[in-house]
């Protein structure tokens, strides 16, 4: 059985150098997006795009004491243990691999956008040119060859770590303890259980809302109903219809044979 893996982003250590973004584009051969006009901050894109799967967000804020903070946050697919995108895909084009990576099969994808609509983190994006949904694939091809993801390999600030999920959770708890000693009383490990936990873990010095993260994201009930009830019943109904058609054809054949006699 494959061992669960995870990446860990230590927000307090990130310097926003964006080397991880460049490494992601290089490894996946993703083109550069058209630049947007300067709007008062240095964030390269407002959001993830079909060709930008990894984005360093720059959050500017002033705390209750009037002190200015500039928080850097690595935004990408969370690789949920209970992925709503995979459950909601009508073409079954999204798989959760045994090690935890959630991957889109572009050959099966029809660009319906259901994955985007159902993702609690609004991650997958449909490429209008190819009509395919895209997102971070956790460099599953590199991992299969014994390498770590391109972004974690590139990070010089040691803000992105990669390893087994057990190890990453242990490291995350250690870092949270240190941050609390340093005065960050709201420091926490972001690993929401409403989506079964995630394989893109975070050490956050502040509450999730500071980084525009949902406090308690959930896999929508409608998706669970679709995946666990509606779709199986639909398959049974489809199979029943096929059996019925074949049965009628066989009966017709037998009748014709008798009449021929």
pLDDT at 229: 58
Is it the case that residue 51 has pLDDT exceeding 90? yes
Tokens representing 34 are: 């058209």
The answer to whether 77 is annotated as binding is yes
For residue 145, the 8-state DSSP code is: T
155 annotated as a binding-site residue: yes
Q: How far apart are CA 25 and CA 53, in angstroms?
A: 8
Element (H, E) at 170: helix 165-181
Its domain, for residue 240, covers 220-261
Mark whether 9 and 119 lie in a shared domain: yes
- Interatomic CA distance for residues 261 and 259, integer angstroms: 5
Per-residue model confidence as pLDDT tens digits over 204-214: 999 999 999 99
Check whether residue 16 and residue 141 sit in a common domain.
yes
Residue 16 in marked binding region: no
Does residue 112 have a known ligand-binding role? yes
State how far Cα 133 lies from the chain centre. 12
The answer to the question of whether 166 is labelled as a binding residue is no
The predicted-structure confidence for 217-235, as pLDDT tens digits, reads as follows: 998 777 777 666 565 555 5
Q: Quick one: average pLDDT of 128-147?
A: 97
243 carries a ligand binding annotation: no
Confirm or deny that 193 is annotated as ligand binding: no
22 is in an annotated binding site: no
User: E-strand spans in the chain?
Assistant: 5-10, 55-62, 68-75, 94-96, 102-104, 125-127, 132-134, 160-164, 188-190, 200-204
pLDDT of residue 59: 85
Residues 225 and 144 in one domain: no
Report the pLDDT value the prediction gives residue 250, as an integer from 0 to 100.
44
| Model pLDDT for residues 169-203, shown as the tens digit of each residue | 999 999 999 999 999 999 999 999 999 999 999 99
Q: Are residues 44 and 147 in the same domain?
A: yes
Is 195 within any annotated ligand binding site?
A: no
Collapsed DSSP state (helix, strand, coil) of residue 150: helix
Query: Do 188 and 107 share a structural domain?
Result: yes
- Is 24 a known ligand-binding residue? yes
| Residues 186 and 72 placed together within one structural domain of the fold | yes
What is the pLDDT, as a whole number, of residue 251?
45
Q: Is 17 annotated as a binding residue?
A: yes
Q: Taking a C-beta distance cutoff of 8 angstroms, is the pair 203, 6 a contact?
A: no
Q: Is 151 one of the annotated binding-site residues? A: yes
Q: How far apart are CA 91 and CA 81, in angstroms?
A: 20
26 vs 60 pLDDT, higher one: 26
Q: Is the domain of 240 the same as that of 178?
A: no
Structural domains in the chain (count) = 2
């Amino acid at each position: 059985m494959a061992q669960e893996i995870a990446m860990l982003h230590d927000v307090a250590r990130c310097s926003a150098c964006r080397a991880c973004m460049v490494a992601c584009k290089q490894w996946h051969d993703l083109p550069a997006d058209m630049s947007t006009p300067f709007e008062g901050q240095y964030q390269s894109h407002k959001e993830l795009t079909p060709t930008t799967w990894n984005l360093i967000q720059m959050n500017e804020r002033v705390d209750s004491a009037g002190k200015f903070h500039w928080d850097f946050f690595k935004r990408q697919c969370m690789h949920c243990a209970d992925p709503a995108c995979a459950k909601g895909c009508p073409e079954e084009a999204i798989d959760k691999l045994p090690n935890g990576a959630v991957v889109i099969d572009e050959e099966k994808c029809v660009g319906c956008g259901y994955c985007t609509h159902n993702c609690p983190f609004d991650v997958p994006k449909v490429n209008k040119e190819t009509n395919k949904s895209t997102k971070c694939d956790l460099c599953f091809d590199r991992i299969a060859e014994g390498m770590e993801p391109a972004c974690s390999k590139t990070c010089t600030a040691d803000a992105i770590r990669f390893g087994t999920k057990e190890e990453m959770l242990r490291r995350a708890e250690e870092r949270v303890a240190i941050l609390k000693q340093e005065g960050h009383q709201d420091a926490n490990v972001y690993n929401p259980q409403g989506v079964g936990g995630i394989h893109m873990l975070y050490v956050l010095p502040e509450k999730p809302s500071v980084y525009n993260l949902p406090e308690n994201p959930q896999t929508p009930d409608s998706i669970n109903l679709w995946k666990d009830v509606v779709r199986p019943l639909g398959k049974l109904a489809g199979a029943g219809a096929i059996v019925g058609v074949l049965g009628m054809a066989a009966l017709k054949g037998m009748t014709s044979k008798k009449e021929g006699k």
